Amino acid sequence: MAGLLCALALSAPAMADLPAARAAYAAGDFARAETLASADPSAEGQAFAAGAALALLMADQTSDRRAAAARLLAHARGAVTADDALADAHLRMAAAIGFEGRYVGTFRSFMRRLPQQGHSHIQQAMTLDRDDPWGPAMLGAWHFEVVRRGGGRALGASLTEGMAAYGEAIARAPDDPVIAYFFAVALLASGEAAYMDAGRAQLARSAELPPREGLDAALDTALSTRARMLLRALEDDPAHAARLAVAEMER
């Protein structure tokens, strides 16, 4: 009996994994945060591991983006499987599907109905948690990206709806430089001259907002730095900045 109890103790996830993962994430060590959280098979653990993998991609802190995206998908699937009622799990699935769509290409993405799957997870997350600003932020990103890839009419996406969703996200989280940055990137990558000033304004907001205290500080700092770089590019050469925004959407 004692041997069995020891074996169970060794095989069970350590309770310290998630607190340690959060500490690593707050310090900007997203790779370690992912490793630690992935050892916890719970929905919360897998969702946090997915969030850390996503942070690696958003902050461009991985040399193998496809491998990180594959881990993001695996963690997100694990979270949804463990608890289908966890909003974060569905947001991570939507993000993972978005990266998968980038890498398989537009045609195969539409054939596999990846945009529809991503949209379904976003809607489910928004139903489960009506207060999370990342629900409408990801919905806004979905509209912009589907239109940019030529599927707006077929899938019911529009830049107007994307603007409205992102606007709702900004209103809910005016202190979030990460949402502001990706809103700006979507605006610049849209190719619409009418959105250039709005993109510049969102970049300036992201660049100027101080990092939030606690868990998000390191990611906020990384994305504000990227915002300042893109803002300088925009001031020097708007056409080049738009190409950089498209590249950001396709990496």
Torsional class of 27: left (φ above 0), alpha (ψ -120 to 50), beta (otherwise): alpha
Instruction: Flag the least confident range among 8-17, 101-110, 180-189.
Output: 8-17
Structural class in CATH, domain 24-132: mainly alpha
- Closest of 218, 143, 228 to residue 187, by C-alpha: 143
Query: What percent of the chain is modeled with pLDDT above 70?
Result: 94
Per-residue model confidence (pLDDT) at position 229: 97
Burial of 127 from C-beta contacts in 10 A (0-12 / 13-18 / 19+): exposed
pLDDT, residue 108, reads 92
Q: How many CB atoms lie within 10 A of CB 208?
A: 13
Mean pLDDT of 84-109: 95
Model confidence at 243: pLDDT above 90: yes
Per-residue confidence (pLDDT) for residue 28, from 0 to 100: 97
Q: Round to whole Å and give the CA distance between 84 and 26.
A: 26
The mean pLDDT value for 106-127 works out to: 95
**pLDDT band with cut points at 50, 70 and 90 for residue 15:** very low
In this predicted structure, what is the pLDDT of residue 52? Answer: 98
Confidence at residue 70, expressed as pLDDT on a 0 to 100 scale: 97
Specify whether the CB–CB gap between 135 and 129 falls below 8 A.
yes
Provide the pLDDT confidence category of residue 12 given band limits of 50, 70 and 90: very low
Asked if pLDDT for residue 6 goes beyond 60, the answer is no
Locate 214 and state its tokens. Answer: 């606690």
| Average pLDDT, integer, range 173-184 | 98
251 versus 8: the higher-pLDDT residue is: 251
Cα 219 to Cα 60: distance, rounded to the nearest angstrom: 11
CB burial readout 152-172, b (16+ within 10 A) else e: beebebebebbbebbebbbeb
Q: pTM (2 decimals)?
A: 0.91
Non-local CB neighbours of 49 within 8 Å, separated by 6+ positions: 21, 33, 34, 37, 38, 40, 71, 75, 78
pLDDT at 129 over 60: yes
Instruction: Name which residue leads in pLDDT, 15 or 143.
Output: 143
For the chain, give every domain's residue range. Answer: 24-132, 152-251
| pLDDT for 216 beyond 50 | yes
Query: What sign does the CA torsion over 188, 156, 170, 89 have?
Result: negative
CA distance 236 to 249: 21
- pLDDT band at residue 2 using 50, 70 and 90 as cut-offs: very low
Mean pLDDT rounded to a whole number for the chain = 93
Confidence of residue 3 (pLDDT cuts 50, 70, 90): very low
pLDDT recorded at residue 193: 93
Please check whether residue 112 is in contact with residue 97, taking contact to mean a CB–CB distance below 8 angstroms: no
CB atoms within 10 A of CB 120: 15
User: Does pLDDT of 8 surpass 50?
Assistant: no
**Looking at residue 105, what is its pLDDT?**
87
